[in-house]
Amino acid sequence: MKTILTSKPNHYLAAVLSLLALATPGCVVDADEDGALGAADDIRDLVEPAERKPVPVRPPLAPNVITDAELPEKPEHDKKSNPASSLSGWTVNLTATPDTLWPTEWSKLRATTNNQLGPTPYYLAIYDNSTGARLAACGYDTFCEFWVSKPNVSWGSYTAYVQRYDATDTQAESPYKLVEWHGANLDISATQNTVGIGASTTITATASWDVGPSPFYILIFDVTTGTLLEHCGIGSSCGVTVSEGAATTHAYQAFLAPYGASLPLAGVQEATAKTYVTWSDSGYSLSLGTPVLQGSAETVTVTSNINVVKTPYWIQLFSDWGTRLGSCKSGATCTLTYPAAGTYRNLFAFISADDANLLPADIQASSNKVRSPLYIP
């Protein structure tokens, strides 16, 4: 767990942090001569990976595999040397190894048939069902192999056939084979979304898969500053503790991607919604409940520790589409109803000035992030 801290000049704090650094391997604190911690003096032991994870490379194809757009016609063989009675009825099967893998990794498609192809006019051909394109064909032996990959989270569907060079006279068709290039179902949260100035909170990104065997890292960014806070190349959880020494609101986001230290990242497979953290000494806080579908509408309740009626602030609800869904100027509980959406979206609330922009002005408190349910008419 890394700690990122920005603070105003404070001799006592600098001394305490120096002692902590001595007790924490890999943690270094630099202080100016006056004991202040400057912007360049953030606590960081974040180090770029000594060796980047390798990019998967396609294994070589077997010599008998033809990938040309057009196949040569195979000669008709003497029926005396290849009587029809010597051939069983054609069958074909298609497998994928593995059939669940990470984007950019390679899966081996293997089509097999029950007869030798050589003395026949037929090929064993593998097709991509999504494009209709023939990926590979083999005119000899009883099998044909081809490697497939997808650059992003996706599915592939494939079928093998025994047929002539021009895709006619099909003798057999395999069941289709699905291959999944999966993501990590990445999410991000903060232990507290509103804290006092100088206090800390932990930003955690979680995944449903261990990213260790993958070509990717979990990368946590402070997207307000564009700073990489943490990278994790193994495991299913990645966290960093952050603190700010002045009133502010920062947005944090996690990515599944090859290692990169700046935004925008290349090769992003997944990006979480942003989660917001506000540093404020107002003492205000709020939490966001679970949205509930009611026909084609959605209702959610925001709960604050303060009745905002006698303050200059509003309770405001936003989606990560940048849309303000509603607001309340009185009460500590704000229940809002708005049109449901046919795609997933994330919601968060603020105590702030009356401002329809994301982020609104003069934020005093930020809520947790919740996912809106999917509306299916």
CA distance 231 to 208: 17
The reported pLDDT for the residue numbered 1 is 62
State the virtual CA torsion across 59, 65, 68, 73 in degrees, nearest 10.
180
What tokens appear for 151 in the block? 């650059």
DSSP character at residue 255: E
CA 221 to chain centroid = 14
What domains are defined for the chain? Answer: 1-45 (no CATH), 84-181 (2.60.40.10), 185-279 (2.60.40.10), 286-372 (2.60.40.10)
pLDDT of residue 87: 59
Closest to 351 (Cα-Cα) out of 334, 372, 371: 334
- How many Cβ atoms are within 10 Å of 143's Cβ, its own excluded? 16
**Distance from C-alpha of 318 to C-alpha of 348, rounded to nearest angstrom:** 6
Distant-in-sequence, close-in-space partners of 283: CB < 8 Å, separation ≥ 6: 305, 306
Amino acid at 301: T
Nearest to 305 by CA among 228, 185, 194, 204: 194
Strand-pair partners of 275 = 252
Q: Which residues, 6 or more positions from 367, have their beta carbon under 8 angstroms from its beta carbon?
A: 193, 194, 286, 287, 288, 302, 348, 349, 350
Q: Rounded to 10 degrees, what is the CA torsion of 227, 280, 365, 38?
A: 0
pLDDT for 115 equals 95
What global pTM score does this model have? Answer: 0.84
- Report the pLDDT value the prediction gives residue 377, as an integer from 0 to 100: 84
> How high is the mean pLDDT in each 10-residue block of the chain (377 residues)?
50 36 32 33 62 91 91 70 59 98 98 95 97 96 97 98 96 98 98 98 98 97 98 97 98 98 97 98 96 94 97 97 96 96 94 97 98 90
Q: CA 329, CA 8: separation in Å to the nearest integer?
A: 34
